Structure 1
Amino acid sequence: MKIKQTLNRFYVADIEAAIDFYEKILNQECKLRFKYPHEDLELAQIGNILILAGSNEALKPFRDTKATFLVDSIIDFKNFLLNNGATVIRDLKTVPTGMNMTVKHLDGTIVEYVEHHN
């Protein structure tokens, strides 16, 4: 079980402006960008920042999620988390990049876990 990367989540209305700004400030290019039509969102990753863009209504269910953990095995993490006082808020599902779930940790922090397709 390994967390490969932790992403800070930024919620925005204008993804183009956000990508342009964060590419400049981080001096890195956007390495991942995709639309998530099921949730009416568009996402982009620049370094350790995950930008989620959409209307206030589309973003509302996700704003309480504080971080995204990219993991090697989402099933292993689900079992570990459930055995250590966490609560699954959004269970495992297929997303454009692989599989994800959203979990409330024992301390109340809400985190998205993602296992990317190989």
Structure 2
Amino acid sequence: MEIKKILTRLYVNDINTAIEFYKKLLNQDCDLRFKYTEMNLELAQIGNILILGGNHEALKPFKDTKATFLVDSVIEFREFLLKNDAVIVRDLKKVPTGMNLTVKHLDGTIVEYVEHKNINS
């Protein structure tokens, strides 16, 4: 069980402007960009920043999630978290990048756990 990377989440209405700004700020290229059409969102990763773009209504269900943890096995983390008093907010689900799970930790922090299928994080 390993957390490979922790991403800070940013919620924006204009993803193109945000991507250009953070590329310049971090002096890094966009590592990943995709549309999550099922949720009316577009996502981009630049370094340790995950940008979620969409309108207010599309972003609303996700804004309480404070971070995304990229992990080697979302299933192993699910078991560990449940044994350690975490509460499932959104259970295991296939997503465009692989599989995810969103939980509320014992301290109340909501975190998304993602296991990517084909990227080198």
TM-score (norm 1): 0.99
Show the counterpart of 1:46. 46
Give identity over the alignment, percent: 72
| Runs of 4+, deviation exceeding 4 Å | none
Query: SS at the partner of 1:80?
Result: helix
Structure 2, unaligned runs of 5 or more = none
Show the counterpart of 2:99. 99
Query: SS at the partner of 2:103?
Result: strand
Query: SS at the partner of 1:85?
Result: coil
2:75 paired with 1:78? no
Structure 1, unaligned runs of 5 or more = none
Find the aligned partners of 1:13 and 1:34 in 2 and give their Cα distance.
15
Matches within 5 A, 1:1-118: 1-118=1-118
- Give CA deviations for 1:42-90 in whole Å, capped at 9, x if unaligned: 0000000000000000000000000000000001000000000000100
Find the aligned partners of 2:16 and 2:37 in 1 and give their Cα distance.
17
Find the aligned partners of 2:87 and 2:11 in 1 and give their Cα distance.
23
Find the aligned partners of 2:38 and 2:99 in 1 and give their Cα distance.
14
Find the aligned partners of 2:25 and 2:55 in 1 and give their Cα distance.
24
Find the aligned partners of 2:74 and 2:62 in 1 and give their Cα distance.
19
Alignment RMSD (CA, Å): 0.4
In the TM superposition, what is the alpha-carbon distance from 1:114 to its structure 2 partner? 0.1
Query: SS at the partner of 2:108?
Result: coil
